A and B are shown apart, each in its own frame.
Chain A
C-alpha cells in the first residue's frame, strides 16, 4: 500500500458480465460470463501489491494472490495460472464457488473503501484462459515412491489430495460411489453456477497426471476400509456430508416433497434438466417452495425456475440478514424472480387424495435473543399459521455426514454429530494409516475448506510415507 498517493487508487471494481435475469431464468447456461482479457488486466492493475499481503491469510489454501495478480497485470496469463496451480489444483472451480467475499477479498486492504480487488474473478479468468488455449501444461511428476494411496470420494477434498500426492510420486487411486467423479461439484452444484464440463476437465487433468479414478465403487460396501488397507499404504476419506436432513413434520413423505440432494442430483448428475431428452424422469412443477436459506436452497430455487416453475419461493425461518447463502447467489435468485418468504417456517405438508403435495402450512416467526451461533433465534408467533398452495417443495436445511464408511470401519471414531474425529492440522483419524478431511470431518461447509483440509492431509500423508 502506498499511503502517500491515495488518489491514484482506482476504486472502481470491475463488474463481471452476466446473462440478464430475463434470459438466464430460461436456460441452464452459466450465469456469470467471466472477464475478458481487457477487464482482467484492468482489475489486476488495481491490486496494491501489499508488502504484507493480508489476502493470502484469508485463503484456506494460501495461494500467492498478489503474485498471480501481478502476472495478470503484465498480461502474462500463463505465468499467472502456473502461480495459482502451485497451491490450488482446481482454480476453475474455486474461482466460481469460493465465498471470496468472506475469505481473501474480505482481507483486502481496499475493502475499507468498499473496493476490494475481485480476486475470485481473476482466478476464474486465468483458469478459463488456460482451458481456452487447448493446452494444459502437465507439471513434471516426481519419481515414483512405489507407495499406494487410496482416496475415498472424489469431491473437492479427495481431488485435492489426489492432485497433491500424484505430483509427489505416489500411486493414487480414487474410489467414487456414483458413476461420475466430482462429488458435490457434479451432483450438487447446478450447471448454471458450475458447468459440468469444467468439473470433468479438472478430473481429466488429474487422470493425465496419472491418478486412477474408479467410479461405481462404494467403499464400506464393495470393499471396506480394512480390506483397502491391505492393498494401500494410506487412505484418505473424503466422503462428504451426504445424509439429508428433513424437517420432521407431518406429510414429509408425500410425493412432491424432495430433499435438496434428490432434487439437485436428479437435475445435475442424472441430467434431469435435459428431460425428456435424458432418461431420469423429472416433474414439471408450477409452484415450488424451497425451505432453507443457504447456497443449496438458492441452487434448488433457481433450478426450479429454469425447469419452468411459475412461482418459486424461498421459505426461511430467520430474516434476510441471516441468510447463510452467498450474497451474490441470493441476489441472483432475487433478480431471476424467486420470492423470498422470510421469518416463515413450514409446520405441515398437506396432500391430495393421490398422495401428492397440495399445500404447505406455515407459521410466522420473529427474532428473539441471539443463540449459540450468534444469530438471533427465530421464535414462533402464536396463532399465525397460514397455508400456501404448492405442487412441490425442496427441503434444503442441511446434511449430516454419510455414515456408510464410519459404520463399517471398526476403530474409526465419530463425534456425536456423526463427523469423523480427525486432527485439525493433519487430518489424521483414530485409525492408523487413515486420514480424513472435508465435510465428513467438519460437517457441511464449503468447497475451499474441503480443499484446504485435503492439502493438509496430503502433506501429512507424504510426511508419514516418506519416513
Chain B
C-alpha cells in the first residue's frame, strides 16, 4: 500500500504522481523504474521514476494517460492509496565522466531524464538537453533543467518553440555544434528512441536508450519484456532497461509493444465515457 501524496495533470495528458515509498526512495538511482497497480483489479505497469526525496520518503513519477491502467492512475486523488508500488527495478543508468552528453527527453521521458541529467552534472559532464514535443505547451519542467543543463534545445512539431519538425531535426542540432557529443541518452516514446538511434548510427555517436516494453513481474520471471539486442535475447527488466540504441531490433520491439492494442480498445468500448479526454496531448503511438 502506497499513499498518493499528490497527483496532478502538469500538461495535457501528462500526470505527475508523488507516492509515499520510503524504501524505494532510499535506494533508487537514475534510470531505474517501479511497477505500480492502480487498484486491486489493476494490471502491473512499469513506470520510470522522475525524482525522489529520501528525507520525505517519496518518489515522483511522470506518466502519460494512454489506456485503462494509466487512466486509473490519472484519476487518483491526493490522499488515496494504491495497492502496489514495487522497486527500484532494473539497472541504473551508467554515469561517468563522458565529456559532453546530449540528453533527449520526450513525453514522460522529460521527467525520467531529470535525475540522469542531475547525476551527469555531478560527475562533471557538459550536458546538452533536447526537449521534443508536439507543441511548446506540452513541454514541462523546463525550469528544473535550466539550472542544470549547459544548453537547452527545443524541437516542436508545430514550430511553436525552437526548431520545427520532429526528432529527425536532431542531425541539424548536432551539425550546429562545434563537435558531436560524446554520448547521447534518450528517454521517451519508442519512435523518439528509434529515430534518434537511426540518426546517430551513421556518425557513430554512442546512444543509450531506456526501453519500456510490456512487463508483468519486473524481476525476470515472465520473459514478456524480452528484446533483441545485438542479435541476442535480453530481458529489459533485469538486463536493462538501458541498452545501446544501435543494437536494438526496433521493428520487433515496436510490434511487441503493440501486442495488446486491440484489448486496450476493447476496454474503452465497455467503460463509461470519461468526462475529460485530452486528445491534443497524444504524440505518436
Contacts and interface: CB of A to CB of B under 8 A. Distances in A.
Given A253-B256, A262-B224, A355-B255, A404 B219 contact: yes
Nearest to B39: A279
A255 B255 CA distance: 7
B274 to A, nearest CB: 16
B83 A179 contact: yes
B106 interface: no
B42 interface: yes
B223 A261 contact: yes
B222 A265 contact: yes
Interface in A263-294: 265-266, 269-271, 275-276, 278-283
Interface string A390-405: 0000000000001110
Contacts of A242: 219-221
A276 B43 CA distance: 12
Contacts of A254: 255
Nearest to B215: A262
A254 B251 CA distance: 11
Interface string B249-277: 10110011001100110110010000000
Nearest to A252: B233
Interface residues of A, number: 43
B246 interface: no
A281 B43 contact: yes
B228 A403 contact: no
A218 B216 contact: no
B198 to A, nearest CB: 19
Given A221-B87, A283-B263, A355-B255, A253 B226 contact: yes
Contact of A402 (B68, B220, B224, B260): B220
B85 interface: yes
A226 interface: no
* Residues of A contacting B: mostly: loop
Interface in B12-55: 23-24, 27, 37, 41-44
B150 to A, nearest CB: 33
Contacts of B89: 218, 221
Given A222-B87, A223-B23, A355-B255, A279 B69 contact: yes
Contact of B37 (A179, A218, A222, A223): A179
A436 B71 CA distance: 41
B167 interface: no
* Residues of B contacting A: mostly: mixed
A217 interface: yes
Interface string A163-202: 0000000000000011100000001000000000000000
Contacts of A259: 222-224
A178 B217 contact: yes
B60 to A, nearest CB: 18
B88 interface: yes
> Which of A266, A276, A280 has the most B CB atoms < 10 Å from its CB?
A280
B100 interface: no
B88 A221 contact: yes
Contact of B216 (A215, A221, A243, A262): A262
B255 A218 contact: no
A226 B230 CA distance: 35
A281 B263 contact: yes
Contacts of B226: 246, 253
B107 interface: no
Contacts of A278: 41
Contacts of B270: 276
A244 interface: yes
Contacts of A133: none
Nearest to B216: A265
A228 to B, nearest CB: 12
B189 interface: no
Given A259-B223, A279-B43, A281-B264, A216 B69 contact: no
Nearest to B90: A221
B84 interface: yes
B220 A404 contact: yes
B42 A262 contact: no
Interface string A225-256: 00000000000000000111010100011110
Contact of A222 (B72, B88, B224, B228): B88
Nearest to B269: A276
Contact of B221 (A280, A282, A402): A402
Contacts of B27: 221-223
B238 interface: yes
> Which of B41, B86, B233, B266 has the most A CB atoms < 10 Å from its CB?
B86
A443 B132 CA distance: 48
B206 to A, nearest CB: 25
Interface in A382-421: 402-404
Given A179-B37, A221-B89, A281-B263, 17 more contacts: A217-B23, A221-B88, A222-B87, A242-B219, A242-B221, A243-B220, A244-B223, A248-B233, A253-B252, A254-B255, A270-B43, A276-B263, A276-B267, A279-B68, A281-B267, A283-B259, A402-B219
Closest 4 CB pairs of A and B: A355-B255, A281-B263, A262-B222, A280-B43
16 contacts: A216-B85, A217-B86, A222-B23, A222-B87, A246-B226, A248-B233, A253-B226, A253-B249, A259-B222, A276-B263, A279-B41, A279-B42, A279-B43, A279-B69, A283-B260, A354-B255
Interface of B: 23-24, 27, 37, 41-44, 68-69, 72, 83-89, 216-224, 226-228, 233, 238, 249, 251-252, 255-256, 259-260, 263-264, 266-267, 270
